[in-house]
Amino acid sequence: MKKKYMPVIVVCLLIFVVAVAGLGTHLVMKYLPTKARMDLNEYYGQVAEGETALIMGSEKLEQRGLLSGDMPYLPLEVVTGYLNQRYYWDSENQQVLYATPSELTSASSSEEPGGEVWLRDGSVYLSLDYIKKYTDIDAYVYQDPDRVAVQYQFEGIQTVRAEKDTYVRYRGGIKSKVLTEVEKGEAMILLEELEDWSQVATMDGYIGYVEKKRISVPEEMKSDRDFQTEQYQYITMDEPVNLAWHQVTTMEANAWLGDAIQNMTGVNVISPTWFSIQDNSGNITSIASQDYVNQAHERGLQVWGLIDNFSTEISTTEVLSRRSSRANIISQLMEAALNTGLNGINVDFESLHEDVGPHFLQFLRELSIECHKNNLVLSVDNPVPEDFTSHYDRAEQGRVVDYVIIMGYDEHYVGSEEAGSVASLPWVEKGIQDTLAEVPAQRVINAIPFYTRLWKTQAGSLSSEAIGMDQAQEVISTYQVETYWDKTTGQNYGTYENEGATYQIWLEDAQSVAAKVKLIPQYELAGVAAWKLGFENSSIWQVITENLK
């Protein structure tokens, strides 16, 4: 009987062994982490000979750098987009300019590698050494495949450390292929925390996942950098700025300064509209007057001469995109400032298209150098921040100029599709808040209007005219307009009918100006400016002074 059942028992045992083996293999396959390595050419993308992959912080780029021996070169647009926007391509002279606070440096390009700037097939590349000269970065250069990893963010970053030797995997999961191995104690930048895995970026350019149980709790990156660079020194006033723009259109009109400021009180800066770009070579018209400056100084006023780009005969893009024309503008401004005794320059370039943005910023950098050499205050007028004016780059302006001025008006303007306030209080306040997201409050000036618009709707057609404070009150009195305080706009509002037309007005008066000026101390701004002399009534100066405190 035993012999009879023995084969059956053997077969059953074999089946059992096979089942256990299969189950064991399944468990091993399911729970044993893979050590398979990911093909780095697949990870970084195929890198052509003479090129190098680029990793900026925690981002792999589509763009490629170039290699000359052991020296990497990075595309200019990558450098300015990620690392340092002050490298500026001077196409006129085929060189790269870099403006420090005190000087404008240049690096000539060559179609051969070896120098600081490599011009290859019309594209500009900067050597890693040249980038490091002015930029605080850590750079790692690796082979197989060739790649350059650059770390440039050292504040507001969370890091984790490996608590034991571990793998960084392409995806979260033990079966995902291995990108690299990190040793115990090695720091990684934390990108995202998941349930069991964390996405990290290694300092040498891998972006992947590690098991949370194998890393430390996140901590703020400790920045102990020894990179030194020259810092901007700003020329600012010890008291709140109280500026009034003075529209001067002829040399002869300078003689009327005394009349214009006869009843003015509290103002400490006057800005006459003296300079305008005349042509695309950067020549400017000037009606600057030393007598005007002397008279203003006798009244205790600083004088900041204004330059505009309002001529229809010029292309602001063409003017500012050439080093020669920028230098021409600046040299003429400096000559006029020194000859007349000006205290500062106010730049009022308006309606700037997106393509002029980088050139406008470069102009300000170059102008800042010369203004500060001559102890001149540099201020720049800006529209209220909107998405379509982001190219004004107020953050960069705020780094290189002394004062950034918000033109807190023209919320509704000639040509607007609907009638409305020139500067409603919520709109003005949002403009301040949005500017402070980019510029330190102590160097922001908010400008208010002394004018309003009288809106006329007739036969479905809308038009308006700008009128000053006294003229607005004459309209109210003549047509016996009943006004009321509109809490929504922070202004007195009135409407009336005349000769088949409907008129509307949102008044700028003592009450509305007081509400706007109160925002200056509330947000700890540097001061207030007003457009323009001649639109005010005599009592408004005291309103500004009282609420500016």
Q: Mean pLDDT per segment of 10 residues, for the chain of length 549 residues?
A: 60 60 48 88 91 94 95 98 98 98 98 97 97 96 92 89 95 94 94 93 91 94 85 97 98 97 97 98 98 98 98 97 98 98 98 97 98 98 96 98 98 95 98 98 98 97 97 98 97 97 98 98 98 96 96
Q: Which residues contact 185 (CB under 8 A, 6 or more apart)?
A: 161, 162
| Beta-bridge mates of residue 127 | 73
- Distance (Å, rounded) from C-alpha 193 to C-alpha 148? 26
Structure tokens at 445: 């000036």
Give the integer Cα–Cα distance in Å for 74 and 79. 7
**In this structure, are residues 383 and 393 in contact, taking their beta carbons and an 8 Å threshold?**
no
Beta 444-449 vs 403-407: how paired, if at all? parallel
* Closest by CA position to 263, among listed 469, 472, 44: 469
Amino acid (1-letter code) at residue 96: V
Neighbouring-strand partners of residue 528: 242, 446
**What's the token pair of residue 540?**
């408004």
Counting other chains too, the contacts that 467-475 makes at CB distance below 8 Å and 24 or more residues apart are 468/534, 468/535, 468/536, 468/537, 469/508, 469/509, 469/535, 469/536, 469/537, 469/540, 470/537, 472/505, 472/507, 472/508, 472/509, 473/509, 473/537, 475/503, 475/505
Separation between Cα atoms, residue 337 and residue 3, nearest integer Å: 119
C-alpha dihedral over 109, 110, 114, 120, to 10 degrees? Answer: 100
CA distance linking residue 269 with residue 528, whole number of Å? 10
| Count of alpha carbons within 13 angstroms of residue 208, beta-carbon side | 27
- The b/e string for 359-392 (b: 16+ C-beta within 10 A; e otherwise) is bbbbbbbbbbbbbbeeebbbbbbbbbbeeebeeb
> Is the pTM higher than 0.85?
yes
Give the pLDDT confidence score for residue 144 in this predicted structure: 86
The pLDDT value recorded for residue 58 is 87
Whether 435 contacts 394, CB under 8 Å = yes
What Rg value do the Cα atoms of the chain yield, rounded? Answer: 33
Would you say 342 and 293 are in contact if contact means Cβ atoms under 8 Å apart?
yes
> What does DSSP say about strands 403-407 and 377-383: parallel, antiparallel, or unpaired?
parallel
The SS3 of residue 194 is coil
Give the number of other CB atoms < 10 A from CB of residue 298: 8
User: What value, to the nearest 5°, has the Cα angle with vertex 446 and ends 444 and 451?
Assistant: 160
**The residue to which tokens 């007028």 are assigned:** 381
Beta strands 104-110 and 117-120, pairing class: parallel
pLDDT at 27: 43
Whose CA is closest to 410, among 381, 444, 379? 381
Say if CB 72 and CB 128 are below 8 A apart.
yes
Sequence-distant contacts of 79-84: CB under 8 A, at least 24 apart: 79/126, 79/131, 79/135, 82/56, 82/57, 82/150, 82/152, 83/56, 83/131, 83/135, 83/137, 83/150, 83/152, 84/131, 84/134, 84/135
From the list 240, 231, 170, 177, the residue with the least C-alpha distance to 206 is: 170
Containing H/E element for 104?
strand 104-110
Which pLDDT belongs to residue 241? 98
Task: Say if CB 396 and CB 380 are below 8 A apart.
Answer: no
In the chain, the amino acid numbered 206 is: Y
CB 303 within 8 A of CB 271: yes
Write down the pLDDT at residue 221. 82
Spatial distance between the Cα atoms of 402 and 388, rounded to a whole number of angstroms: 24
